[in-house]
Structure 1
Amino acid sequence: MERDFLGFINDNHLFGPTDRVLLAVSGGLDSMVMTELVHRIGQPFAIAHVNFGLRGEESNADARFVQNKAEQYGVPFHLTQVDTKAVAEERGISIQMAARELRYAWFRQLLSENNYACVATAHHLNDVLETVLLNFTRGTGIAGLHGIAVNQNQVVRPLLFASRDQLVAYYEANKLTHREDSSNPEDKYARNRIRHHVVPVLTELNPALWQTFPRTVDRLRAAETLLRTELERSWQEISEPWGEQTLLRSDKLLSLSELPFRLSEWLKPFGFMVDQVEQMTNALTQSVGQQFLSPTHRIIHERNGLVLEPLRLAPDYEIRLTDWPSAAINVTGHFALAVQLIDKPDNIPTNPAVACLDADKLTFPITIRPWRQGDRFRPLGLNGHKLVSDLLNDLKLSRSERERTAVLLSGDSIAWVIGRRIDHRFRITPTTQRVCQLTLLNRL
């Protein structure tokens, strides 16, 4: 067993012979076998134990047992005690999830404070099979079907080469001792039900399960690697970054095979659900304007594709000026305006980012704010008034561009839809003496 153990560590580059490894030891059979194996190969190590406080005196006895073992091995011992139930209630999560989060957060702290190379847990092949079956019943991608990672974020699993029966055989041959969790025989948890009732049936159907299953897991991991490579390649092909936004071009999306699956994998990190992805796929062949929200992002169906952007609150600001400032007007997080009072220019700029207004027709206070539904102004060259919303629609602006549009008001009248169009009433005329030139420094 020691030879197989060391071979698995070396084959998977889990840690070097002089690295100090932190062992996560519960006191159960699996973790005691791992501790003995690490000791036998001469690896420098320390032991960490979490008392979750879930089984009263039994939990305290587990902690004392593990501490005594650390003293027998002559290695450093780390202990923490947490109120798992209270944390689970506070965070609104299951006790198992709270225990996992508390455990790994403490391990990360120990790694940082003590310069350990990694933390090793005692997961083995049976744990991998149970995890795969659990993930399968809950619905999962291909990553969920290869179970537990061998090496991930400084967490290593050096027993993943062995089945539970192999660990028991080693335990008995070396006359080791352990603490038995009284909840293990219970069927209260889904994992225990799979362990007690499903896995025995699978091993009966295939007596060579523990020889064939690792090969299946290896193939699934290889398939996932190929899949991730293809997903990254096609993402680069169909996406066009633009500031905080990313455009997923509809023409290129519709040319891809298995589009719902690709979209689901691409958008999973942004919090979008599978049913939303199905709606997005359907939206690509329908009229524009639909939007889809996740807790952190949104996707808008625009004319040229799906626009992905961080979820922001609607702009809410109002700047009131009683005089023209000497420096640029900064609307923090949105844009800035440079202000110049000049003589009437020979040529009026045609750039929509520059507005030349008759300074003597502007009255204070000058207000800068987001446009609102119902806002009206008189566009340059027109006799009648027009809704700002109609102007933005005529310009074929995307939803996010419309939302970021602001207006500059003279008193109660809109003088400029910033970056879009000035109001006819504030234009430069032959009688204009002074010009207020406003320049949008950051495009909306």
Structure 2
Amino acid sequence: MVQKFKAHIEGHLSFLKERKLLIACSGGLDSIVLTHICDVLDLEIGIAHCNFKLRGKESDEDEKFVLEIANRLRVPYFVTNFETEKYAKDHKLSIQMAARELRYNWFQEIVMEYQYDYVLTAHHKDDNLETFLINLSRGTGIDGLTGIPEINKPYVRPLLPFSRNQILEFAKKNKITWREDSSNQNTKYLRNKLRHQVIPELLAINPNFLQNFETTLNNLKQTNTFVKNQVDRVRNDVFEYSELGTIRIPIHKLQQYDDPKTYLYFLLKDFGFTAWDDIFQILTAQSGKQVFSPTHRLVKNRGYLLLCPIIEDVSDRIYKIPEEENMIIIPSGMIKLKEVSDVSNTDLKTIYLDKEKLKYPLIVRKWKEGDYFYPLGMKGKKKLSKYFKDEKLSLLAKERVWLLCSGDEIVWIINYRADNRFKISPETKNILKVTIT
């Protein structure tokens, strides 16, 4: 097995050689064999052990056993103790999920502090099958059926090509001792039930089941790669990126493909969405329809879908600019104010004001229903809601609008239109240039 492991490293994981490797070692069969082989191959390793305090004295004996291994091999040793049950309760997690979260967070701390290049875990072929069946039983997409990734930096799983039987035979042949985790026999956990009851039946039906599963897994991985390449091609075609972090998806472009709903699923699934029925209906919904994920929202705006991160609500935030201030930072940029002697070209990011018409402190705030202004170059006043409609601003664009105000009067719809009441005239003595960057 050492030679096969070495060949696998050289053929597929050669980047591990001459690197600093941290082995996640529970003291069980798999991680002890992984530690032994890495030592035989003279790889630079350290050992990290988590005591989850779930099995009383047995957990403490595991910790002691792994320490003895590290001392015998003369390699760096890291150990931590977790109050796993309390953490699970406080964070409303299962014990297994709590333990997983705790250990991976701790591994990351060691990697950062001690400059390890990779963390090796001892997942093997049987673990892959168990994970596949768990995901299958819960309902999953193709990603959930492609198994445990061999490389998910900084984590590497070099034992994935080997079965539990191969690992066990190697340990017995080389008289390697390990610790047995009694909780691994408890079939109240789904993984253990699959390991002890379901998979043995599958192997009894077909002794080549594990090998056939590996073939199926490789086929699924190839299919998944093909799908991702197709989705990348569509993404490059339909995603339009803006400087404000919003992605526009033209619906007519999406509908040119044979199955737009399927493509929409693959385009959006990495943004945390789960309400797929609502998302598919948004294609034909009225403007303003929204669907939320924990991190993003999708908005229908005429012929487009707008995808953007959920940002902090600043609708009630107000910024004051005293007369002596010449700069202020707001969420949409930096406002600079400067007295000038003449006027150069204006644009949407720059306006010129008659300073004597202003009341200080100036105020920057979000717009609200009922707001109106006197558009520069036009006669009369106009409600902002009507102005936004005429300008065809999306819901997202309207939410990002900030106003520069003098008292209760709007001076500038920032980035859009100035107010006629504060424009400079031949009688203007003090010109104030206002710019947002």
Offset of 1:295 from its aligned partner?
2.5
CA contact (8 A) 1:419 1:440 kept: no
Q: Secondary structure at the match of 1:78?
A: strand
Deviation of residue 191 (structure 1)? 0.6
Where 2:46 maps in the other structure, the secondary structure is strand
1:75-86, aligned counterparts within 5 Å?
75-86=75-86
> Residues of 1 paired with 2:116 and 2:319: CA distance?
54
Write out per-residue CA displacement over residues 106-140 of structure 1, whole angstroms, 9 at most, x where no aligned residue. Answer: 33333444454433222111100000111112232
Contact 2:297 2:308 in 1 (8 A): yes
The answer as to 2:410 corresponding to 1:414 is: yes
Find the counterpart in structure 1 of residue 371 from structure 2: 375
One-letter code aligned to 2:382: K
Rounded Cα–Cα distance in structure 1 between residues aligned with 2:309 and 2:106: 31
Of 419-428 and 188-197, more deviation after overlay is shown by: 419-428
* 2:331 corresponds to 1:311: no
- Tell me what 1:175 maps to: 175
> Could you say which residue in structure 2 is the equivalent of 1:148?
148
CA contact (8 A) 2:321 2:328 kept: no
> Following superposition of structure 1 onto structure 2, how do residues 53-202 of structure 1 map, counting pairs within 5 Å?
53-202=53-202
1:45: how far off? 3.3
Q: Which amino acid aligns with 1:266?
A: L
Secondary structure of 1:165 counterpart: helix
- On the 8 A contact 1:21/1:45 being kept in 2, the answer is yes
Describe the shift of the 1:411–1:15 C-alpha distance in structure 2 as closer, same or farther (beyond 3 A): closer
Q: Would you say 1:250 and 2:251 are equivalent positions?
A: yes
Q: Which moved more, 1:219-228 or 1:244-253?
A: 219-228
The answer to whether the aligner puts 1:441 opposite 2:436 as a matched pair is yes
Secondary structure (helix, strand or coil) at the match of 1:147 reads coil
The secondary structure found in structure 1 opposite 2:148 is: coil
For residue 268 of structure 1, what is the aligned residue in structure 2?
Answer: 269
Read off the aligned partner of 2:436 and give its amino acid letter: L
User: CA separation in 2, counterparts of 1:356 and 1:22?
Assistant: 62
Shift of 1:435: 6.9
Q: Is the 8 A contact 1:415 1:423 kept in 2?
A: yes
CA distance, structure 1, for counterparts of residue 424 and residue 75 of structure 2: 84
1:405 to 401, 404, 414: 401
Whether the 8 Å contact between 1:315 and 1:404 is mirrored in structure 2 is no
Percent identical across equivalent pairs? 37
Unaligned residue ranges in structure 1 (runs of 5+):
none
Q: Which amino acid aligns with 1:260?
A: K
Instruction: Please tell me whether the aligned partners of residues 356 and 435 of structure 1 are also in contact (alpha carbons under 8 angstroms).
Output: no
Residue 419 to residue 16, structure 1, CA distance change in 2 (3 Å): closer
Mapped contact 1:260–1:278 kept (Cα < 8 A): no
Deviation at 1:61, TM superposition (A): 0.9
| Residues in 2 aligned to 1:366 and 1:185: alpha-carbon distance in whole angstroms | 70
Moved more, 179-188 or 401-410: 401-410
Which letter maps to 1:367? I
Whole-angstrom distance in 1 between the partners of 2:411 and 2:315: 20
1:58–1:100 Cα change, 3 Å: same
CA contact (8 A) 1:15 1:117 kept: no
Partners in 1 of 2:356 and 2:218 — Cα distance? 77
CA distance in 2, matches of 1:363, 1:260: 54
Q: Unaligned stretches of 5+ in structure 2?
A: none
1:398-422 residue CA offsets vs partner (Å, 9 max, x unmatched): 1122122233434333344444445
**Shift, 1:181, TM fit:** 1.1
Partner of 1:280: 279
| Cα gap change, 1:415 to 1:7, in 2 (>3 Å) | closer
- Please list the CA deviations of residues 345-388 of structure 1 after superposition, one character each: whole Å capped at 9, or x if unmatched: 8xx97856555556555445543322111223344677764322
TM-score by length of 2: 0.87
One-letter amino acid of the structure 1 residue matched with residue 165 of structure 2: D
CA contact (8 A) 1:341 1:434 kept: no
Cα distance in 1 for partners of 2:348, 2:63 equals: 71
| Alignment-derived partner of residue 221 in structure 2 | 221
Structure 2 CA distance for aligned equivalents of residues 22 and 416 of structure 1:
58
Change (3 A) 1:404 1:105: closer
CA distances 1:230-264 after superposition (whole Å, capped 9, x unpaired) = 22222111111111222122221112244333333
Distance 2:134 2:359 in 1: 69
Could you list the per-position Cα deviations for residues 263-315 of structure 1 after superposition, in whole angstroms to 9, with x for gaps in the alignment? 33332332222x2x442332222321112222222222122411222222234
Letter in 2 for 1:249: P
Distance 2:420 2:111 in 1: 67
- 2:390 corresponds to which residue? 394
Q: Aligned with 2:147: secondary structure?
A: coil
1:241 aligns with 2:241: yes
Offset at residue 338 of structure 1 (A): 3.9
Deviates more, 1:289-298 or 1:409-418: 409-418
Instruction: With the length of structure 1 as denominator, give the TM-score of the two structures.
Output: 0.86
Q: 2:260 — aligned with what?
A: 259
CA distance in 1, matches of 2:280, 2:49: 48
Shift of 1:34: 2.5
Amino acid of the residue matched to residue 401 of structure 1? A
Q: 1:389 to 1:339 in 2, by over 3 A?
A: farther
RMSD: 3.0
Instruction: Quote the Cα distance in structure 1 between the aligned partners of 2:429 and 2:277.
Output: 58
CA contact (8 A) 1:14 1:156 kept: no
Q: How many residues align?
A: 435
Q: Give the Cα–Cα distance (whole angstroms) in 2 for the partners of residues 167 and 321 of structure 1.
A: 70
Q: Secondary structure at the match of 1:237?
A: helix
What's the counterpart of residue 288 of structure 2? 289
Q: Distance in 1 between matches of 2:52 and 2:120?
A: 19
Partner deviation per Cα, 1:179-234 (whole Å, 9 max, x = no partner): 21111221121111111222122212322112222222222222222222222222
Residue 58 (structure 1) shift: 0.6
Residue identity matched to 1:120: L
How is 1:351-370 mapped onto 2 (pairs within 5 angstroms)?
Answer: 355=351, 361-364=357-360, 366-370=362-366
Mapped partners of 2:328, 2:31: distance in 1 = 64
